[in-house]
Structure 1
Amino acid sequence: MSQLTLVIPVFNEGAPLTDNVRAIREAVARIPEHRFQFLLVDDGSTDDSFIHLSAIRDTYADVSVLRLTRNFGKEAAIQAGLEHVDEASDAVIVMDADMQHPPALIPGMVALWNSGIDVVEAEKIRRQSESAISRWMAEVFYRIFFLLTGMDIRNQSDFKLLDRRVLDFYRNLHERERFFRGMIHWGGFPLARLTFEVSPRRHGNSRWSRFKLWRYSISAITSFSSAPLHFITILGALTFVVSIIFSAKALYDKFSGVALGGFTTVILLQLFIGSTLMISLGLLGIYVARIHDEVKRRPSYIVDWRVNSQKSASDENKRAQQDEVDDRHQQDLEQKG
């Protein structure tokens, strides 16, 4: 019987966690041919989420809880969960705790995995509560990301099933700043997609402000493309061409005796060149900042507390007892020898 682990990042979800986890358990209960474990990652919640997570862990024998020291962000929470998945797991499912990723999709994802697919992605076809400007911003991001990287991740989500070899591939990547969707897509593993509509949140509001989404977008693009750096060369070439044109015009006016007084041309050139230099320095700054973050080699997250599922703890005790028996048996053989 294969084992799958559900990795569920949690941040300030509060009391609805109990009902949400119950709903997810009901969905996986329809797949009796597989065994499921749950790893709930508390990403530094500041409300009572950890209390509810502890209660859930005490209620169900197959639930483990991982708590980070502070809010490191969703990408770090996903990374922490995937790096703490039991070695016995044959696949993992990553999903949100707020029920916007429908648990009803899990049986279909597992069925596709059973057929030999390594990655099963849940793709958003419509977000009911999303505003027009948010949809427009998302579309612009997807287009730019595809233009610069060649990877089409339009409407993809973090709701994914990953085979064990995909999980091992992700764990072996060493970069600190991560973009989960892009990294899995970049791996090029056989994949299939299921579609879903994003339901309204049952509790609270989204923690993603437009500013955070903007920073996340910049991080995602610069993680997978150096094309913005090449824009500097293009801007430099354009500046050179424009400078030649302005210079030729200025020389023509001077030798024709029609040169106008004032510094209009000089000012325009200075503004154009200055703006180009500022854009170039800004792009360089983004990449230098990424290099700075990588060379520091700081951990992406810090685990504050972990409690394994009761079943995992029982298995560990059995292994410890077996190891003790084996040691005693080895000692007896050595004494007889």
Structure 2
Amino acid sequence: MTVSIIVPCHNESANLATLYARICSIMDACQEPWEMICINDGSKDDTLLQLITLHQRDSRIQIIDLSRNFGKEAALTAGLDAARGDAAIPLDADLQDPPEVIPELIKHWKEGFDVVNAVRLSRDGESWLKRASAHFFYRVINRMSEVDIPADTGDFRLLSRPVLDALQSLPERRRFMKGLFAWVGFRSTNVYYHRAPRHSGKTTWNYWKLWNFAVEGITSFSQVPLQMAAYLGFLVSLLAFIYAIWLVISTLVYGNPVKGYPSMMVTLLFLGGVQLMALGIIGEYLGRIYEESKHRPIYLVRQIWQRHTQHHDNHIENKTN
């Protein structure tokens, strides 16, 4: 039973040699047939050159070179689509998720589980703010979503062939993979590990990108923000109606003295802010519908290196589902 290890790469040239050495040591000790599919997601350093060198040394290393940077979710999708093994294991190239956990994932897979999640017990090398925001995000999205997304679990996990086939049948183009892994279901279990700091280099995930990633996840798997906008509108309308009744009674009882400018401005700004917030939430969902309606491919492939064969296509390969 072949195991496909999926490694999205974006400016990870400093980590590739160590990653390859550790994977070779672990997988050869497991005595399992394996392949490693590396996706070059528009790297600007010599990541592609390093990958080609590894491929020439070991034909089990396959390369998918995307035409530009499409983002990690698209790169991960490209790797999962290309996986030919009976199981696939997404793995970050920065070695924060240790390959030494792979034998335990395979062990549970052979026991009959289709999905084996690798759950983080700690996140060394990350700031307290990033750890706290990640902890908060998983709790919030699970309260909002009908799908139970495993907390403190990244892309690092094992997916059996039936799960891979199910993922390939999903038509979404804007993908939140952690949610899709949970949505397809299947029999699952967890293993636990301590996440290490990056082996080399700096992460490109700043707080703005993490915020957008969180918004993507919530809007992909929950309609609660839309419902909250509606409830907030009803609440503000109710308060405005009560305030109008109070004004009528106050005028009849105490007369109609001229009110101050500040109270009027506070009311106008509050109502305007509520309306803009509701429109922003609606806009997020409308934007997703707009992106899906264009039916653009998730990713475009420039070249593929596979089993000592380099494919030079006259056209650009694409993934359209």
TM range (shorter): over 0.9
Give, as a single letter, the amino acid of the residue that structure 1 aligns with 2:86.
D
Output aligned runs, 1:161-180, within 5 Å. 161-180=158-177
1:25 paired residue number? 24
Separation in structure 2 between the aligned mates of residue 218 and residue 145 of structure 1, nearest angstrom: 10
Distance 2:150 2:219 in 1: 15
Amino acid at match of 2:245: A
State which drifts further: 6-15 or 264-273: 264-273
**What residue in structure 2 maps to residue 99 of structure 1?**
95
Q: Check conservation: 2:126, 2:197, Cα contact below 8 A.
A: no
Are the aligned partners of 2:43 and 2:69 in contact in 1 as well (CA < 8 Å)?
yes
Distance 2:14 2:137 in 1: 34
Report the counterpart of residue 331 of structure 1 in structure 2. none
Secondary structure of the corresponding residue to residue 12 of structure 2: coil
Query: Quick one: structure 1 residues 26 and 6, their matched pair in 2 at CA, closer, same or farther if it must change by over 3 Å?
Result: same
List runs of 5+ in structure 2 lacking aligned partners: 310-321
Q: State the distance in 1 between where 2:17 and 2:265 align.
A: 65
Residue of structure 1 in register with 2:6 after alignment: 7
> Deviation at 1:269?
3.2
- SS across alignment from 2:14: coil
From 55, 66, 81, give the equivalent of 2:53.
55
SS in 2 for 1:302: strand
TM-score when normalising by structure 2: 0.92
Q: 1:79: which partner in 2?
A: 77
On the 8 A contact 1:43/1:70 being kept in 2, the answer is yes
**Higher mean displacement: 131-140 or 103-112:** 131-140
Mapped contact 2:149–2:178 kept (Cα < 8 A): no
- C-alpha distance in 2, partners of 1:109/1:55? 29
Q: CA deviation at 1:283?
A: 0.5
1:309 shift after superposition: 2.2
Alignment of 1:1-337 (within 5 A): 2-32=1-31, 34-86=32-84, 89-150=85-146, 151-262=148-259, 263=261, 265-310=263-308
Task: Provide the rounded CA distance (Å) in 2 between the counterparts of 1:176 and 1:16.
Answer: 29
* Aligned-CA RMSD value: 1.4
* Mapped partners of 1:114, 1:238: distance in 2: 54
Counting aligned pairs with the same residue, the percent is: 32
Deviation at 1:264, TM superposition (A): 5.0
- Greater shift, 259-268 or 103-112, is seen at 259-268
Shift of 1:118: 0.1
Contact persistence 1:30–1:107 (CA under 8 A): no
Equivalent residue number for residue 334 of structure 1: none
Q: Deviations over 1:124-178 (max 9, x none)?
A: 1111112121122112211220111042431011101110000000000000011
Q: How far apart, CA to CA, are the structure 2 residues paired with 1:136 and 1:19?
A: 30
Report the equivalent of 2:317: none
Looking at CA atoms only, which structure, 1 or 2, has the larger radius of gyration? 1
Shift of 1:232: 2.2
SS of structure 2 residue aligned to 1:206: coil
Q: Does the 8 Å CA contact 1:120/1:161 hold for their aligned counterparts?
A: yes
Deviations along 1:14-52, whole A, 9 cap, x unmatched? 1331121111111111211x3111111111110011110
Deviation of 1:265 after TM superposition, in Å, equals: 5.0
Residues 246, 265 of structure 1: 8 Å contact kept:
no
Do the aligned partners of 1:113 and 1:119 also contact (CA within 8 Å) in 2? yes
Q: Which runs of 4+ in 1 moved over 3 A?
A: 263-269
- Cα distance in 2 for residues equivalent to 1:18 and 1:84: 22
Q: Is the 8 Å Cα contact of residues 15 and 48 (structure 1) preserved in structure 2?
A: no
TM-score normalised by L of structure 1: 0.88
How many angstroms does 1:248 deviate by?
1.5
Contact 1:15 / 1:52 at 8 angstroms: preserved in 2? no
Give the whole-Å Cα distance in 2 for the aligned partners of 1:102 and 1:235. 45
What amino acid sits opposite 1:5 in the alignment?
Answer: S
Counterparts of 1:252 and 1:153, CA distance in 2: 54
- Distance between the aligned counterparts of 2:117 and 2:78, measured in 1? 20
Shift of 1:61: 2.0
SS in 2 for 1:30: helix
Aligned to 1:324: none
SS in 1 for 2:201: coil
Give secondary structure in 1 for the equivalent of 2:199: coil
Amino acid at match of 1:256: V
Which whole-Å CA distance do the structure 2 matches of 1:260 and 1:281 have between them?
Answer: 36
Give 5+ residue unaligned stretches, structure 1: 314-337
Instruction: State whether residues 59 and 306 of structure 2, in contact with CA within 8 Å, keep that contact through their aligned partners in structure 1.
Output: no
